[in-house]
Structure 1
Amino acid sequence: MITQELKQQILSLSSDEQYEIVRLIQEKTNSWTGITKTPGVVGGDACIRNMRIPVWSLVEYRQMGANDDKILEAYPQLTAADLANAWAYAETFSTEIAQAIAENQEA
């Protein structure tokens, strides 16, 4: 069964390789699975799966030198797919994320 074989191959990839696959699919479909924006929740910023973990905070953590494994250790409720979604979103909406980081550093 080709789907099962593909699933096994994807699961054996590194986090970075899985990220590239998710990013490619999201770009092709213009879909941001796992990213939500809710007015009144974390200032309406893009967050992970209806959690109060904003994408900008993960990006900032990464900018401070944390790799995906360290971030997953710090946020055990997140998955590698959540990070892939966050990185893809942040790459596409880099101005939005940079602005949110700047605003939150001032606060």
Structure 2
Amino acid sequence: MSNNTPFVQIDLTPEYNMNYHERITIKPGMRSGKPCIRGMRITVYDVLSYLASGMTYQEILDDFPYLTQEDILACLSYAADRERQILLIQA
């Protein structure tokens, strides 16, 4: 990246970010230490994969009745927090 190339800086930090810390748990002996929902064996990755495959919130909740909409939002918030960064785009 040369210093004379113009870039636009975009801050991707959300103004509102759900507090997921009580819903997303990490335990070394559970699911290889991957982030799970409320200490259960379903991971953030599982939920994000279902959403990415096209499942709706309601379909996920129907398939996993022990989950809540807040659990799904916590997964999204957790993922957004992990990916939060400053992005440079060439103008």
Q: Same fold (TM over 0.5)?
A: yes
Unaligned runs of 5+ in 1: 1-22, 95-107
Give the corresponding residue for 2:27.
Answer: 38
Bigger proportion of residues as strand: 2
Bigger proportion of residues as helix: 1
- Give 3-state SS (helix, strand or coil) of 1:24's partner: coil
Q: How does 1:22-37 map to 2 (within 5 A)?
A: 24-26=17-19, 32-37=21-26
Q: Percent identity?
A: 32
Larger Rg computed on CA atoms: 2
Query: 2:25·2:36 contact (CA, 8 Å) conserved in 1?
Result: yes
Query: 1:33·1:85 contact (CA, 8 Å) conserved in 2?
Result: no
Distance (Å, rounded) in 1 between the aligned partners of 2:67 and 2:56: 14
Q: What TM-score, normalized to structure 2?
A: 0.68
Give the corresponding residue for 1:66.
Answer: 55
Count residues in correspondence.
69
Give the corresponding residue for 2:87.
Answer: none
Give the corresponding residue for 2:76.
Answer: 87
Q: What TM-score, normalized to structure 1?
A: 0.59
User: Deviation above 2 Å: which 4+ runs of structure 1?
Assistant: 23-26
Q: Which has the higher contact order (CA 8 A, sep 6+)?
A: 2
Q: C-alpha root-mean-square deviation of aligned residues, in Å?
A: 1.8
Unaligned runs of 5+ in 2: 1-15, 84-91
Query: 2:18·2:77 contact (CA, 8 Å) conserved in 1?
Result: no
Give the corresponding residue for 1:76.
Answer: 65
Distance (Å, rounded) in 2 between the aligned partners of 1:42 and 1:80: 22
